[in-house]
Amino acid sequence: MGVRTIFLIISDTHADGLTGVLPRLPVNIAIHCGDLTEESKIRELQATVDLLKSIDAPLKLVIPGNHDFTLNVPVFKSILAEVRPLHEPELVKREYGDFGDARELFERAASDGIRLLDEGTHHFALHNGAQLKVYASPYTASRAGDRNAKEKPQACGYPGLFEAVARSRPRMHCFGHIHEAWGAKLVVWGNTAGERPSHLTAIDDDKSTSIETLAGLRHPEWDTAETAKRRARCNTLFINAGIQNLEVDGEPQLPRVVDIDLPILVRK
């Protein structure tokens, strides 16, 4: 037995206001999986904070992406160091802010339930009486086997990340970045042989179920009761929640709303 917990999952919003895209329903927790902005400018980050505030959830978790470099002060400093001498420093300051300004935006939004997560494991006591453990990582591999949307489909992503997921087998694995791979899959893990699991060896494809993909369903609806039943029989729910559509003038891809039974909070 667990506590039914409803998640809203989004990624790759790139400072888009998402007018009319987000569902108008209360959820227990919202997760933004990264790429909040296009260029990590202060106005873009503020737009993302405003978007998160509009979500009806007591807790909203945010994991920065590679586009959101000003949220990582050492990275921001290294980028500016590479363009020395810095032309128009006042313009840069106006567009990107001082070191730490980007993070301060999210710190001020903590009263609205917004939490910016750094690398590592985080524990939360949810309002619905459930406990949640999240491992967050803002890092994106520079060479992750990405591809152009028009190229022949192939495996994408960072193998080391998949190995970590295959070893830990979380209830849910949320991500984005490869926009054209939007979709969700209920993964049943097989009996992994060896120490280097891959998507070819670690997943039992005969028992796993693709819920929705861009190739099969361009205008998806929310999860049905039947997909919820199938989810309960599976080990890990993989969700690529990339919102941005790579097609010219394409409508945003829809966010994902799922419910999962989480462990009951044990109060000490």
Residue 34's nearest CA partner among 51, 9, 59, 57 is 9
Average pLDDT value for residue range 91-112: 95
pLDDT tens per residue across span 134-168: 999 998 776 545 554 455 556 677 888 888 888 88
pLDDT band of 201, cuts 50, 70, 90: confident
Q: What is residue 154's predicted lDDT score, i.e. its pLDDT?
A: 62
pLDDT band of 108, cuts 50, 70, 90: very high
Q: What are phi and psi of 137, to 5 degrees?
A: -145, 120
pLDDT tens per residue across span 167-183: 889 999 999 888 888 88
Could you tell me which residues come within 8 angstroms of residue 185 by beta carbon, excluding any fewer than 6 positions away?
208, 209, 210, 211, 237, 238
Better pLDDT: 179 or 57: 57
| Chain mean pLDDT for the chain | 83
Q: What is residue 186's predicted lDDT score, i.e. its pLDDT?
A: 85
Given a cut of 70, is residue 215 above it in pLDDT? Answer: no
Given a cut of 80, is residue 118 above it in pLDDT? Answer: yes
Better pLDDT: 218 or 55: 55
Q: What is residue 49's predicted lDDT score, i.e. its pLDDT?
A: 96
Residue type, 182: W
Average pLDDT value for residue range 26-38: 95
Of 14-28, 70-84, 109-123, least confident by mean pLDDT is 14-28
Q: What is residue 213's predicted lDDT score, i.e. its pLDDT?
A: 52
Average pLDDT value for residue range 238-258: 85
Q: pLDDT exceeding 70 applies to what percent of the chain?
A: 83
pLDDT band of 35, cuts 50, 70, 90: very high
Return the beta strands (E) in the chain as ranges. Answer: 3-10, 29-32, 59-62, 114-116, 120-125, 131-136, 172-175, 183-187, 209-213, 236-240, 256-262
Q: What is the pTM of this model?
A: 0.83
For the beta sheet containing 59-62, the strands, ordered from the edge strand earlier in sequence to the opposite edge, are 114-116, 59-62, 29-32, 3-10, 256-262
Residue 18's nearest CA partner among 38, 40, 61, 47 is 47
Q: What is residue 195's predicted lDDT score, i.e. its pLDDT?
A: 62
Q: What is residue 113's predicted lDDT score, i.e. its pLDDT?
A: 97
